[in-house]
């Protein structure tokens, strides 16, 4: 167990979030196509573009630690994506469809905020200042996306989900 260090944990968690981001790129496209509300569709499309930049930053972090960028299956993201797929199937065409998609997207954001916050803290502890800066940049983007989704939910999507006008 002597080789199980914080550096090892950092690398393993980095692989986990790398897998998640790569998987999300494809799934954000699907969610954008499925969204009924044009503002939600645009939010998903914008975040897909942002996610591609986040993958590039993760690649830079792998390079900084001298490791090849690769992912490992992230069960948490697989579960959240599975739930989003169920919502797309089960609520298709209903007023609650977009509220469910938005909730699934926020579950992803909350997972990512947790992961990036942890990775940033570990990078700082390990003296990886450049990596910490890259991770913080993504953390800030994820937090901003979550806030945008909350505003969209409160202003439009949740009201529309009731089937009543505002």
Cβ atoms within 10 Å of 52's Cβ, excluding its own = 13
Choose among 117, 79, 96: nearest CA to 35.
96
| DSSP annotation of 126 | T
Domain assignment present for residue 155? The answer is yes
Label each residue of 49-107 as H, E or C.
HHHHHHHHHHHHHHHHCCCCCCCCCCHHHHHHHHHHHHHHHHCCCCCCHHHHHHHHHHH
Domain assignment present for residue 151? The answer is yes
State the total domains in the chain. 1
What predicted TM-score, i.e. pTM, was given to this entire model? 0.92
pLDDT tens by residue, 134-148 = 999 999 999 999 999
Residue 102 has pLDDT above 90, yes or no: yes
Residue 165 has pLDDT above 70, yes or no: no
What number is the average pLDDT over the span 7-20? 96
| DSSP annotation of 163 | T
Separation CA 4–CA 17 (nearest Å): 19
Cβ atoms within 10 Å of 146's Cβ, excluding its own = 17
Residue 1 has pLDDT above 70, yes or no: no
What number is the average pLDDT over the span 96-107? 94
Record the tokens describing residue 132, joined without a space: 């910490």
Domain assignment present for residue 165? The answer is no
Domain assignment present for residue 166? The answer is no
CATH code of residue 92: 1.20.1260.10
Contact 27, 81 (CB under 8 A): yes
Mean confidence (pLDDT) of the chain: 94
Domain assignment present for residue 148? The answer is yes
Separation CA 86–CA 122 (nearest Å): 35
Domain assignment present for residue 102? The answer is yes
Contact 51, 99 (CB under 8 A): no
Domain assignment present for residue 1? The answer is no
Domain limits for position 80:
6-159
């Amino acid at each position: 167990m002597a080789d199980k260090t914080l550096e090892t944990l950092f690398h393993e968690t980095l692989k986990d979030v790398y897998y998640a981001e790569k998987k999300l790129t494809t799934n954000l496209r699907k969610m954008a196509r499925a969204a009924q509300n044009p503002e939600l569709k645009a939010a998903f499309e914008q975040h897909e573009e942002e996610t591609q930049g986040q993958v590039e930053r993760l690649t830079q972090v792998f390079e900084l630690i001298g490791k090849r960028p690769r992912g490992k299956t992230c069960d948490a993201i697989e579960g959240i994506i599975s739930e989003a797929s169920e919502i797309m199937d089960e609520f298709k065409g209903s007023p609650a469809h977009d509220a469910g998609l938005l909730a699934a997207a926020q579950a992803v954001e909350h997972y990512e905020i947790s992961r990036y916050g942890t990775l940033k803290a570990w990078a700082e502890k390990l003296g990886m200042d450049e990596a910490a800066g890259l991770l913080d940049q993504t953390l800030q983007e994820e937090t901003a996306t979550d806030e945008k989704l909350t505003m969209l939910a409160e202003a439009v999507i949740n009201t529309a989900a009731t089937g009543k006008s505002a």
